[in-house]
Amino acid sequence: MRPLLLANWWRLYIIGLWVRCGGGPLTLQKEIYKMNNHLNLLDTGNGNTKIAKTNRGGLYRVASLSLMPDRILCPGSKAAGCFEGCLKSSGRGRFDNVAAGRQWRSDLWHQDQDQFLDRLHKELGNFAKLCKKTGITPAARLNTISDIAFERFGIPELFPEIYFYDYTKRAARLNKTPDNYRLMFSYSGRAQYANQVQIALGAGVPIAAVFRDQFPAEFLGRPVIDGDKSDLINSKAGPVIIGLKAKGALAKADQSGFVIDAERIPALVVAA
């Protein structure tokens, strides 16, 4: 999100007076929503740390979409127990302007899905043209911290030249997406999530697991790879465990079963 222009401060001042005179807090919320209407949905640069790492390879350029997660946008988060330790507050997400931009995008999805999809179509189209012009392969991660089934809206089919990839906590989505849309499953050790994990293991897709400190050499009978290097590599890795380090204070303190302590895993050798 771009910093507010100085010209906008007088609007906030007037609205503040209105609120203090009885206009109500929703007035301010609606006005800020209007002020953010100039934002793009997609980040086609390196605003996301993991995306920046992926872009360093030079073969792909990744566009990412970051929403402010909630129980609707992340329907599997309750069973997985990952909502409290979510990455929404780690990295750049701790900055108020970044959080406000993500919230605006989420509000647009909830309040005007048609406009959201129209914007997304235009931005993906422009991104694909830019990549073609610069001779680089376009890729897109539309769920950086959400879990929307974009395949239901025909997005990947509309842009066959773009390689789409995402993580999901909804096992029912696995192996049901178009060829240019790869999904990786996100693990949690909670009992109420065990059925989802079993379905994912049977699907043969990469499974991401978050570890507090060290990565084990194996987990769930699969080899563990370092997943913090590139999500593009992760998405094509096959039946492995994508090891991710817990990031952010909330994730590192998580005790729900979402974050794994490698030293507590019996009969497994911890990787050096």
In a domain, 272, yes or no: no
Q: Which amino acid is at 135?
A: G
Q: Nearest Cα to 203, choosing from 218, 220, 217?
A: 220
Do 165 and 133 share a domain, yes or no?
Answer: yes
Do 139 and 86 share a domain, yes or no?
Answer: yes
pTM of the entire predicted model: 0.79
99 vs 261: CA distance, rounded Å: 29
Which structure tokens are listed for 250? Answer: 């909330």
Instruction: Please write the tens of the pLDDT for every residue from 46-100.
Output: 656 667 666 776 789 999 999 998 989 988 887 776 656 555 555 554 557 778 8
Is the per-residue pLDDT at 266 higher than 80? no
Proportion of the chain above pLDDT 90, given as a percent? 53
Do 20 and 153 share a domain, yes or no?
Answer: no
Do 32 and 160 share a domain, yes or no?
Answer: no
Do 54 and 173 share a domain, yes or no?
Answer: yes
Do 8 and 54 share a domain, yes or no?
Answer: no
Which structure tokens are listed for 102? Answer: 């993500």
Do 17 and 129 share a domain, yes or no?
Answer: no
Average pLDDT value over all residues in the chain: 81
Do 150 and 167 share a domain, yes or no?
Answer: yes
The pLDDT assigned to 183 comes to 98
In a domain, 258, yes or no: yes
The pLDDT assigned to 179 comes to 97
Do 218 and 94 share a domain, yes or no?
Answer: yes
In a domain, 271, yes or no: no
Q: Domain range spanning residue 4?
A: 1-37
Mean pLDDT, to the nearest integer, of 205-223? 92
**73 near 5, Cβ under 8 Å?**
no
Instruction: Return the SS3 of 204.
Output: coil
Do 95 and 180 share a domain, yes or no?
Answer: yes
In a domain, 269, yes or no: no
The count of structural domains within the chain is: 2
List C-alpha distances in Å: 207 to 16, 174, 231, 238.
48, 11, 12, 9
Do 30 and 49 share a domain, yes or no?
Answer: no
Do 158 and 172 share a domain, yes or no?
Answer: yes
145 vs 95: CA distance, rounded Å: 16
